[in-house]
Amino acid sequence: MSLSDFLSIRDLSVDEIKRLLDLACQVKANPAACASALKGKTLAMIFEKPSLRTRVSFDVGMEQLGGHALYLSPDEIRLGRRESVHDVAKNLERMVQAIMIRTFAHEIVVEMAEHAAIPVINGLTDFSHPCQALADYLTMLEVKGRVAGLKVGFVGDGNNVAHSLMFAGALLGAHVRVATPPGYEPNRDALLWAIRHSIGTGGSCIVGNDPVQAVTDADVVYTDVWASMGQEAEAEKRRRNFAPYQVNAALFARAKPNAIFMHCLPAHRSEEVTAEVIDSPRSVVFQQAENRLHVQKAILLELLAKEVTEAQQVVRHELMPL
């Protein structure tokens, strides 16, 4: 496996996504084995959208791998206004070893990768959130012992998180069911991609408007905020339209008795989920959040550690079946 960038789950093969999850399991089980793998290397972190988990997990991840992370705020770059994407890419490639960018339009990440001669990582766009999807499926793997065949019910907005959940589920053989209010369905091309790539893995992907149907007999129930960053003007309208899609005790009871609840955070209790669900023993939201650190360390190692170090070779971890 030799990735040059990490822009979307859609860019991965089945073997590549499994390899990243395997590596994430290894670095989580034995973080000391890779403590100097990225010594002398710097990651530039461009934030057009703020984030707690993305900022901390990449910053701490680079430090734990022996490298350094450099935070660049929106005001410092003003991407596309003060400086073009092309010029930012060409400057950074001469000073750092990789770029992580968290922005709005997916095209910005693609353009950055086209112009930068160093690896580019998608920390989030309006279209996809691939780091989150890897953390999600690592969590499912840890809790359920497998991913293939799991029924994953996503209720809420057909957004970037839903897209990447569908993409990764298709590659790993999960059955992803998405329920949104009419007019808020996932991107059609994203759905068609997930359906096509599910065929060879034994998985499936279905989108509809019935939340009960999506979560009935599910192994995993997943939701996200109703209004993401950049959608503040729609917040009140969305609250009205999404009210029937709240994950509460009644809806969660439709899932399997041992189903888990997932949320990519931040969460708005009493909106998309009630406190009795997200704060219950069956909620794994903070395990999910922690796993952002481990999967992103795996991504950084895959992109920046061109040769497997002796320390990595001595890692021994009994991998769980995918």
Could you give the residue numbers annotated as active site?
102, 129, 132, 224, 264, 292
* Positive/negative CA dihedral, 228, 9, 140, 157: positive
Strand-pair partners of 177: 153, 206
Output the DSSP codes for 229-262. Answer: TT-GGGHHHHHHHHGGG-B-HHHHTTS-TT-EEE
* Phi, psi angles (nearest 5°) of residue 270: 80, 0
Q: If we measure between CA atoms, which residue out of 100, 37, 43 comes closest to residue 65? A: 37
Residues recorded for the chain? 322
- Do residues 154 and 162 lie in contact, with contact meaning Cβ atoms separated by under 8 Å? yes
Structure-block tokens of residue 124: 């989030």
Residues 6+ away with beta carbon under 8 Å from 268: 225, 226
Angstrom distance (rounded) from CA 167 to CA 133: 8
Q: If we measure between CA atoms, which residue out of 29, 37, 26 comes closest to residue 300? A: 37
- Do residues 55 and 83 lie in contact, with contact meaning Cβ atoms separated by under 8 Å? no
Burial of 20 (0-12, 13-18, 19+ CB in 10 A): buried
Q: If we measure between CA atoms, which residue out of 103, 152, 185, 102 comes closest to residue 260? A: 152
Strand-pair partners of 155: 179, 223
